[in-house]
């Protein structure tokens, strides 16, 4: 079941073609939207919301046509924009309730639901204060709240952790993760912070120069063929390298104190080899795990592979 299906979409701003013959399927669940600046991510989001009319191609979002049913789409989609935005002069509750009413909720329901959503986003008594007095972290939560208030089936988040300090980022990512897993809300997160996406999403879509470059499960993108293993020592030790090579293990030059090795067998077996080598060379092994590319590395690989 796909949340959105896009076929051969072309979007132009005057002479500039932002999306070229773009086709992809956005599955259910939590998906990350990656791509360098100017690749067309924002354009894609705007087109999905029905703001921009495509020059050609079509798209289906939750069964609605993006070219024609813009308003109905915006009723089932919530957008958390990247830039700071709010409606001036209102308290948080007033603002979120108004957002709900604008989405079509009856007035009483909107207020009730605004309180519920603000509670979920972690705003206690502060909800009765004017939004203009809020700190960055609170403003981000309000943006999330106004996107969730009408119970959207798809949540579009644009740089949700922008400007947040480490604790704030933790909390925001937790919120996003818990709303996307198990609550039936599909989420599309656009962000440059790849570890954030790793934390929250299961799949990614990579957009570059207006076209789809890669898509798939994060686990799959991170996997390295051959299952190499990262061994971390307390300090570099040439004796260790020699001992391991002597056992027929392929060992790469270290990054700081981490060595990537490739050997046949299961991790249980390989660890015995590593421990033997460590004993022989008096090295202290501080880590032994299956090597994975970080999402960032995988992403950079995708970008450079296509240049």
Partner 1 sequence: MIELTNASRWYGQVIGLNDVTCTIGPGVTALLGMNGAGKSTMMRMITGQIRPTTGDVKVFGHQPFANPEVYKHLGYCPEIDNFYEHRSGRQFVHYLAKLSGFSESEAKSKTQGVLERVGMAQRADAKIAGYSKGMRQRIKLAQAMIHEPDIILLDEPLNGLDPVGRREFINLLATLADEGKTILVSSHILFEVEQMTRSILLLHRGRLLATGNLTALRDLIDKHPHRIRIESSQPRDVATRLVGLPYVLNVQIDPRGDGLEIQTREPGQFYDQLPGLVLDHNLAVSGFSSPDNNLESIFRYLVEA
Partner 2 sequence: MASPIADLSYRNYDGPLDPPALRWWVIARAMMNLNLKRRVLWLFVALSGWYYVGMIFVLFIFDQFAASTPAFPGAPNPAKEFFGRIIWKDQFLHGFSYGQMLFMAILLTIGAGSIANDNRANALLVYLSKPISKLDYVMGKWFGVFLPLLLISSVPALVFYLYGALSYSSYGFISSDPWLLVKVMIALPITAAIQASVIVGVSSLFSQGRLAGAAYAGVYFVSNFFTQLMKGTWFGLSHGGGGVPMAKSAVANLFYASFDGINIGIFKAILGTDGSMPFGIPGNAPAVPRPPLLPMLLIGAAISAVCLVVAWSRVRAVEVVG
Residues that bind partner 1 (rule: CB under 8 A) add up to a total of 44
Provide the mask over 50-89, with x wherever binding to partner 1 is found by CB under 8 A and - wherever it is not: ----------------------------------------
How many angstroms separate the CA atoms of 203 and 216, rounded? Answer: 5
Q: Does 255 bind partner 1 (CB under 8 A)?
A: no
> Where do contacts with partner 2 occur on this chain (CB under 8 A)?
37-38, 42, 49, 51, 70-75, 78-79, 81, 83-90, 94, 98-99, 101-106, 109, 113, 116-117, 119-120, 132, 146-151, 178-179, 183-185
Segment near partner 1 (CB under 8 A); pick from 57-65, 106-114, 130-138, 218-226 = 130-138
Residue among 19 and 105 whose Cβ is closer to partner 1: 19
CA dist list (Å): 42 to 167, 204, 225: 27, 16, 33
Residue among 104 and 239 whose Cβ is closer to partner 2: 104
CB of 156 to partner 1, least distance (A): 19
How many angstroms separate the CA atoms of 290 and 256, rounded? Answer: 18
Segment near partner 1 (CB under 8 A); pick from 92-100, 105-113, 143-151, 163-171 = 163-171
Segment near partner 1 (CB under 8 A); pick from 17-25, 87-95, 239-247, 276-284 = 276-284
In the complex, the residues that contact partner 1 under the rule CB under 8 A are 34-38, 135-137, 162-170, 192-195, 229, 232, 234, 266-268, 271-272, 275-276, 278-279, 284-290, 296, 299-300, 303
């Amino acid at each position: 079941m796909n949340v959105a299906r896009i076929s051969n979409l072309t979007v132009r701003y005057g002479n500039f073609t932002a999306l070229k013959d773009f086709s992809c399927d956005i599955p259910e669940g939590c998906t990350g939207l990656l791509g360098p600046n100017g690749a067309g991510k924002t354009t894609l989001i705007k087109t999905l919301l029905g703001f921009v009319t495509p020059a050609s191609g079509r798209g289906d979002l939750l069964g609605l046509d993006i070219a024609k049913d813009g308003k109905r789409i915006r009723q089932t989609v919530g957008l958390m924009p990247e830039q700071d935005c709010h409606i001036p002069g209102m308290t948080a509750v007033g603002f979120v309730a108004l957002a709900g009413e604008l989405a079509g909720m009856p007035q009483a329901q909107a207020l009730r639901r605004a309180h519920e959503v603000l509670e979920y986003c972690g705003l206690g008594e502060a909800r009765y204060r004017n939004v203009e007095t809020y700190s960055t972290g609170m403003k981000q939560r309000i943006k999330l709240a106004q996107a969730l208030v009408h119970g959207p089936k798809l949540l579009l988040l644009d740089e949700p952790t922008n400007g947040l300090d480490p604790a704030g980022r933790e909390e925001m990512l937790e919120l996003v993760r818990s709303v996307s897993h198990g609550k039936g809300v599909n989420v599309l997160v656009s962000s440059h912070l790849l570890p954030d996406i790793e934390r929250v999403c299961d799949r990614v879509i990579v957009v570059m120069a207006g076209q789809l470059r890669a898509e798939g499960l994060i686990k799959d993108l991170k996997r390295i063929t051959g299952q190499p293993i990262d061994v971390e020592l307390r300090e570099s030790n040439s004796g260790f390298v020699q001992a391991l090579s002597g056992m027929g293990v392929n060992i790469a030059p270290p990054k700081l104190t981490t060595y990537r090795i490739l050997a046949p067998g299961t991790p249980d077996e390989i660890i015995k080899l590593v421990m033997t080598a460590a004993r022989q060379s008096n090295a202290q092994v501080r880590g032994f795990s299956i090597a994975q590319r970080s999402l960032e590395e995988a992403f950079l690989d995708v970008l450079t592979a296509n240049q």
